[in-house]
């Protein structure tokens, strides 16, 4: 039993971290994956574990029996397995609240789901102090045995960190990940109970595996959300992915669904979004800039390839390198968004790493790797923009999509100040009807007059693609003043999430939520 006890501690540690990682995905699908969400999940789970340690120590002193521990872990396994079934109605309620921006309902549903983790995590927390109490027979060995048990538990937690993310969630989804981990813990708990107390001890708990089996085969895993027009959903190691179809348009939504990452229509190319603004970038250079001379582009944050498809339509000689970290999004792009284009070369890599290791230089580099409303911090620093600068041609231009509030441009100002350290000129336009601003940064000095001159020249030529002309016209009509100086972001200090959180909080407190509708 002592050897099996150590194995039990390993399984318990594995399950506790696996549940935490699965919880982050479960919550992220509905509430996003910002630092605030992560901090809430980690902080509350640590509180639950703390309570479990306290209860486990006292419980072990009152009933220092192997059978007691294994009964506790059996209940823990069952409670982990039923989390998806109980949480699903609440989470669908949260999804509807998020779409309608009902913040009170949204906060309430977040709290309700986190309460679901109270029982399983507290019960899991009892295992280590309980195991120490059972294993120590001689006080002279207390330190060595305690160290061994915590080491084994931590090793299990280490492995439990990777199993959900790398194996189970991409393969069977979040819900069945909970079911599998709960079932594994339940099985080993019942085996331990049988070894200690015999078959008769299992009879009162024999219904537990039946419940888990029924859930595994009967729970409807599909349709996590009731989104209007949803034609496809899946989970990857990085995202919960939805494809919606509305009026012939396909739209890609990720995780909480606040933001459309890609759009597609077989015959329409202008979506009045940030994607087509990338097409304007070369024309900040002195006129005349010839369409036929634009032949290279990189897209950091390819998603399902909207910008690439638009660029290939406008620039007949272009070759595009697209960097997208999520292979499932690439598959979705090929299936639903017409992304399988011969001029597009897709690299399934982190955008910063992929660009840094690219041997090419580009006339245009687009950076649009949002997880709305956040930009990944490592794509906002001076070191990253130095990499971008180094991979641009002499007439190259970078384009970055930035979020803002109606009266709060601090993030734009900081990014502009950061980019200025390496680029000669910057230009900012506000995308009409959105909270997006597009920043253009050129390697050599440029000005808005160049854009106007190129627009006149292309308009007069008579053979320019209307998509390009329409987009340039929108850009010219919405250019903003040069942003003032602000904090420069570096790899050492880039508080972009804190700045974004503060911007969102001020926006919400101002009562402007209805503007998001």
Which range of 164-168, 179-183, 369-373 scores highest in mean pLDDT? It is: 179-183
State mean pLDDT over 266-272.
94
pLDDT at 168 over 50: yes
State mean pLDDT over 324-345.
95
Q: Are 82 and 215 in contact (CB under 8 A)?
A: yes
The pTM of the full predicted model, rounded to 2 decimals, is 0.80
319-323 sheet: strands from edge to edge: 344-347, 319-323, 296-300, 362-367, 392-403, 436-442, 425-430
Parallel, antiparallel or unpaired: strands 296-300 and 262-264: unpaired
pLDDT at 513: 47
pLDDT-derived band at 496 (thresholds 50, 70, 90) equals: confident
pLDDT at 366 over 90: yes
Per-residue b/e over 286-320, b at no fewer than 16 CB within 10 Å?
A: ebebebeebebbbbbbbbbbbbbbbbbbbbeebbb
Q: What percent of the chain has pLDDT over 90?
A: 64
Strand, coil or helix: what is 425? Answer: strand
Q: What percent of the chain has pLDDT over 70?
A: 89
For 270, other C-beta atoms within 10 Å of its C-beta total 16
User: 398: left (phi > 0), else alpha (psi -120 to 50), else beta?
Assistant: beta
State mean pLDDT over 512-516.
48
| Structure-model confidence comparison of residues 312 and 94, the more confident one | 312
Return d(Cα 81, Cα 292) in angstroms, integer: 59
Q: Are 319 and 345 in contact (CB under 8 A)?
A: yes
């Amino acid at each position: 039993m002592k050897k099996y006890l150590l194995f039990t501690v390993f399984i318990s540690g594995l399950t506790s971290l696996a549940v935490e990682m699965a919880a982050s995905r479960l919550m992220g699908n509905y509430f996003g994956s910002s630092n605030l969400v992560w901090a809430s999940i980690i902080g509350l789970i640590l509180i639950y574990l703390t309570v479990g340690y306290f209860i486990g120590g006292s419980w072990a002193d009152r009933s220092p029996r192997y059978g007691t521990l294994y009964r506790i872990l059996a209940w823990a396994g069952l409670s982990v397995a039923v989390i998806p079934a109980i949480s699903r109605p609440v989470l669908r309620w949260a999804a509807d609240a998020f779409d309608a921006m009902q913040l009170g309902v949204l906060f309430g549903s977040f709290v309700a789901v986190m309460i679901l983790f109270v029982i399983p995590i507290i019960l899991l927390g009892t295992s280590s102090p309980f195991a120490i109490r059972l294993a120590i027979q001689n006080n002279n060995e207390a330190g060595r045995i305690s160290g061994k048990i915590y080491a084994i538990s931590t090793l299990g937690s280490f492995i439990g960190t990777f199993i959900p993310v790398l194996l189970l969630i991409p393969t069977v989804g979040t819900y069945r990940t909970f079911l599998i981990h709960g079932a594994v813990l339940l099985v080993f708990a019942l085996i331990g109970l049988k070894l200690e107390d015999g078959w008769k001890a299992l009879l009162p708990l024999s219904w537990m595996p039946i419940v888990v089996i029924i859930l595994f085969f009967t729970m409807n895993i599909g349709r996590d959300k009731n989104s209007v027009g949803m034609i496809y959903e899946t989970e990857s190691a990085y995202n919960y992915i939805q494809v919606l179809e509305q009026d012939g348009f396909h739209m890609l939504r990720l995780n909480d669904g606040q933001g459309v990452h890609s759009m597609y229509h077989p015959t329409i190319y202008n979506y009045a979004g940030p994607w087509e603004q990338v097409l304007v970038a070369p024309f900040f250079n002195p006129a005349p800039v010839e369409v036929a001379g634009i032949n290279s582009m990189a897209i950091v944050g390819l998603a399902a390839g909207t910008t690439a498809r638009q660029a290939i339509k406008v620039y007949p000689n272009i070759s595009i390198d697209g960097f997208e970290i999520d292979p499932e999004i690439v598959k979705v792009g090929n299936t639903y968004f017409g992304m399988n284009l011969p001029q597009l070369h897709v690299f399934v890599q982190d955008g910063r790493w992929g660009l840094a290791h690219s041997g090419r230089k580009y006339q245009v580099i687009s950076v649009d790797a949002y997880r709305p409303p956040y930009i990944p911090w490592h794509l906002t620093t001076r070191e990253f923009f130095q990499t971008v600068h180094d991979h641009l041609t002499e007439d190259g231009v970078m384009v970055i999509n930035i979020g803002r509030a109606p009266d709060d441009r601090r993030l734009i100002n900081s990014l502009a100040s950061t980019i200025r350290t390496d680029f000669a000129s910057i230009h900012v336009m506000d995308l009409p009807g959105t909270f997006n601003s597009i920043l253009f940064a050129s390697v050599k000095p440029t000005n808005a007059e160049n854009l106007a001159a190129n627009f006149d020249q292309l308009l007069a030529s008579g053979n320019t693609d209307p998509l390009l002309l329409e987009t340039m016209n929108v850009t010219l009509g919405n250019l903003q003043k040069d942003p003032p100086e602000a904090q420069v972001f570096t790899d050492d200090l880039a508080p972009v999430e804190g700045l974004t959180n503060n911007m969102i909080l001020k926006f919400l407190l101002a009562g402007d939520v209805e503007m998001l509708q």
